[in-house]
Structures are given as C-alpha cells and as structure tokens.
Chains A and B, each alone.
Chain A
Amino acid sequence: MRYVRQIATIAMKDLRAELRTKEAINASLAFALMILLLFSYTFDPEQEMMRQVSGGLLWIVFAFAGTLTLNRSFARELPNDCLDALIAAPIPGSALFLGKCFASFVLVLAVELVSLPVFGIFYRVHWTEQFPMLFLVLLLGTWALTVIGTIFSALTVNIKLREVMLPMLIYPILMPALMAAMRLTTLLVTGQPIPEDDMAWLKMLIGFDVMFTAISLALVETVLVG
C-alpha cells in the first residue's frame, strides 16, 4: 500500500509539473498534428490504399510524438540537481521508475486520444466501430512505448547527445511491439474484429509489455545509480 502511494506521489508530481508548464505536451501535440497533415502529401487521402497503411502511419506519429514527451521525463529533473534528490529520496528505485512511467503514459495517451479523431476525420478511417478493442491496443502499445522510453530516458539523461541517443536506442527495441500495434490497428480501423490468425500479434504485444516491464524493474537500480 505504501509502495502504491509512493508511485502515485511521483506520478502526480510529474503530471502537475507538466500541466502547469505544458512544455512537453504542447510540443508533442503540435508535432503529432503536423505529421498527420504531412502524410496527406505523401498519399492520396481519398484512395483505398490509405486504409491499408493507416495503422502504420498512426503508430509512427505516436512513436515520434511520444519520444518528445519521454525525452523530458528524466531531463526535467536535471536543473537544480532534482534528479540527485529523487534518487536520494527514501523510496525504492522501482517506485520512482513506475511513477515516471505512469505520468508519461497518461501524457502520451492524451496526445494519442486527441490525434485519433483528427486522423479519423482527415483520412476517413472507421476508428469508432471497434473502439473498445482499438483502445486496448492503444493502451498496450503505449505502455510498451512508455516503459522502454522511461528506462532509456533514465539511462541517457546524463549524456551530451541525449536527444539523439534516445530515439536511436528505443526504436529498434520497440520494433516488435510497434509491428504488432501497427498490424492490429490497421485491421481494427477497417471496422472488422481481429481475425483468428492475427490474435498472435495481440499475444506478442502483451508478452512484450510483461517481459520488458519485468526486465526494466530488475535493472532500474543499476540504471539510476550506475
């Protein structure tokens, strides 16, 4: 119970700081809408082909916009040595990590839930018809993005080339999760339920989340202290 309260304290602190300054979420949202618009110059939005690539496009937007938020996750603690204070705080490193994870998760999910209807309007995909399942895919994919993003944000926080290194490190590791999310999203925005053959992708996504959450929790003390 105390552990849950510690996680909630860290998560609420991050969310409150973000909602007061809005430095990451505004950039992330503007960036997401910008890429959505730019895609319309790459493909003819009227064509059927648009629906076949829609899941891929959507997750590229989410992954790129999410990185902007995740980059700030630990970097925001650098001024005034706040990071040292957090590491010295009487809470386990895993609580700090999970708190940061949940805060980023909420922010990234908020950006996604704004982008999704815009995407639906611009490109006429049927995102409402299978919404509960699509929302599940969104939750699982976003958790994969935030858990990997947060642990590598902590790993790269003291590096000179932080903004460059984070995407370089996380995209290859995220590849199985992104492929699964892209495939499932493409299927779901056609308005049909997931076919039996493609349920394996959902299992892959769940497996990825469980496995990498466990590995991150096992290694978080090493990442934070060195």
Chain B
Amino acid sequence: MLGPLFDAAVWTALAAAIVAACASVFFLRTRDFYYDSLALAASEIGLMLLAMGIVAGATAGRIAAGLWWTWDSRLTTALVGFLLYAPYLMLRRAVEEPTRRAASAAVVSIFAIFNVPLIALAVHWWLARRTATFSLAAGWMILPVALVGFGLGWVRLRQEQRRRAQDAERRISQEI
C-alpha cells in the first residue's frame, strides 16, 4: 500500500514539475500572468505530493526493513527533488515586484526541470553499490493519486486567480 503510494506520488509530482516548467516558458514568452499562476499551483501541488511520497516511502521502509531511511536511491532522489523545488516558493516570497517575481520564479523552474534527470541518474549511480533497484514501474495507485493531484492543482489555480483579481480590484478602489 505505502510502496505504490510512494511511486504514484513521485510520478505525479514529476508531471507537476513538467507542467510548471512548460507554464514558466509560456509565461516568459507571453507575459500572461495566468501561466504564472499555473506554474505556482503546479509547484505547490508537486511539493505536497513529494512530501507525502517521502513520508510514505520512509514508513514503508520502516515496516519492511525496520529502518526509516536506508538511502534507497528513489527515496533519496525524491528528497533532493523536494530540496530543489522548496526554494522556488521561498524565492517567490522574497521578491516584492510581481513581474520580477514571476520572471525569477520561471527561471528557477526551468533550471530545476533540466536538473531532475541528472539528479536521478547521479543519485542512482552513487547509491547503486547499496541498492540496485531502479524501477520505472508505477502501480494502479497512480490513478487516484494523479486524479487527486490534478484536482487539487485546479482548485489551487482557481483560488490563486481569484486572489489576484481581488487584489487588483482592491488596488483600483484605493486609487479612486
């Protein structure tokens, strides 16, 4: 149960990262803030799924081997992926000006997505001495997890859009 949950969460998070990177490229091309909201929503959902996956994977290891963390290459890759995308949200909080914030965040997202395959490969090589499992399999759990992930992403996107619309109206009414 927990092993397949880890697989499904990580694969859905990867899909979210790809969506975020594509949305970032579209934002830099069109400067349409809809794509910025999409990238933000996808990154947040991806990070949430990764956190959930890491907890599930560590718990599965605890049940199977009695150890929380055995430096399994997939679990470690998920952790590095989490550390890769967490600064994305921190950077967004640190930049005040909206256009600047969106452009900086888009650059980070593009750098991060190109790094994901390198990290997966490097971590696998590094830990291959201990664990030789490198499966690309994702079980049946992928279906519910992906559905929940995309559902939450859609809700988060709508909420972000509404928040921005409200902020814009508030600014206009203040100016009047």
A residues touching B (Cβ–Cβ < 8 Å)?
Answer: 148, 155-156, 158-161, 165, 168-169, 172-173, 175-176, 179-180, 183, 200-201, 204, 207-208, 211-212, 215, 219, 222-223, 226
Contact indicator B84/A179 (Cβ below 8 Å): no
B74 to chain A, nearest CB (A): 16
Complex CA–CA separation, A156 to B105 (angstroms): 11
Secondary structure of the B contact surface, majority rule: helix
The answer to the question of B155 belonging to the interface, with a C-beta cut-off of 8 Å to chain A, is no
A204 contact set on B, CB distance < 8 A: 118, 121-122, 125
Bound-state CA distance A222–B111 (Å) is 13
How many residues belonging to B are interface residues under a CB distance threshold of 8 Å? 29
Say which residue of B90, B112, B126 sits within 8 Å of A165 (CB atoms): B90
In the complex, what distance in Å separates the CA atom of A141 from the CA atom of B108? 21
Q: Do residues A169 and B122 form an inter-chain contact, with CB atoms below 8 A?
A: no
B111 touches A168 (CB 8 A): no
Which A residues lie within 8 Å of B100 (CB)?
A: 158, 226
Interface presence of B95 (CB below 8 A): yes
Q: Are B118 and A169 in contact (CB under 8 A)?
A: no
18 additional A-B pairs beyond A155-B108, A173-B111, A215-B111, beta carbons within 8 Å, are A148-B111, A155-B104, A155-B107, A159-B94, A165-B90, A169-B108, A173-B115, A175-B119, A176-B118, A176-B119, A176-B122, A183-B126, A215-B110, A219-B107, A219-B110, A222-B28, A222-B103, A226-B100
Q: Is the CB of A172 within 8 A of B83?
A: yes
Chain A residue numbers with a CB within 8 Å of B83 are 172
A200 and B125 contact, CB distance less than 8 A? yes
Roughly how many angstroms separate A204 CA and B103 CA in the complex, as a whole number? 29
- CB of B87 within 8 Å of the partner chain: yes
| Alpha-carbon separation in the docked complex, A161 to B97 (Å) | 15
Residues of B within 8 A of A158 (CB): 95, 100
